[in-house]
Amino acid sequence: MLEKRGYERLVLDGDAHIATKGRKPLAFRAFLDNISYGGFAFFSLENLKPGRIVEFRLITHALDEALVGRGKIRRITRPPQYNTPLYTIGVEFTQVNKDLVMHIINRLQAKMVSEMQARRQKAPELDYIAY
């Protein structure tokens, strides 16, 4: 399948505080799924409509401060394997400090490289069966 996204997504643990405005304002807490240079995704029990503008505050171990900004809901999926009204919601950044986004991505990539190096340095365990 052809990848439509312009940027690689990296797994990101943390909290997302989401708020909407308009006729039916909404504010709730959700759980981060991933991030890229162009946006982020989160898990939520709330079902938001594509195109809706949200304000967000992302709190993660990858950044010493909250990442605050605005975005537009681009996609909503509901995994069929779960028997719960859980949605994965993708947000495209429209107003955010891109330097902070890049800082998060750099830290996540550095962590991935460090973990790969640690796995390579670990001595392989050999299963020896005497005949």
Pairwise pLDDT comparison (128 vs 15), residue with the higher score: 15
Domains of the chain, earliest start first: 10-117 (2.40.10.220)
Is 102 in a helix, a strand, or coil?
Answer: helix
Taking residues 84-105, report their average pLDDT.
94
pLDDT at 56 over 50: yes
- Pairing mode, strands 26-35 and 39-44: antiparallel
Confidence of residue 131 (pLDDT cuts 50, 70, 90): low
The secondary element (H helix, E strand) that includes residue 18 is strand 14-20
For residue range 108-128, what is the model confidence (pLDDT) as tens digits? 999 998 888 888 787 566 666
Confidence of residue 2 (pLDDT cuts 50, 70, 90): very low
CA-to-CA distance for 110 and 28, rounded, in angstroms?
A: 31
The secondary element (H helix, E strand) that includes residue 74 is strand 67-77
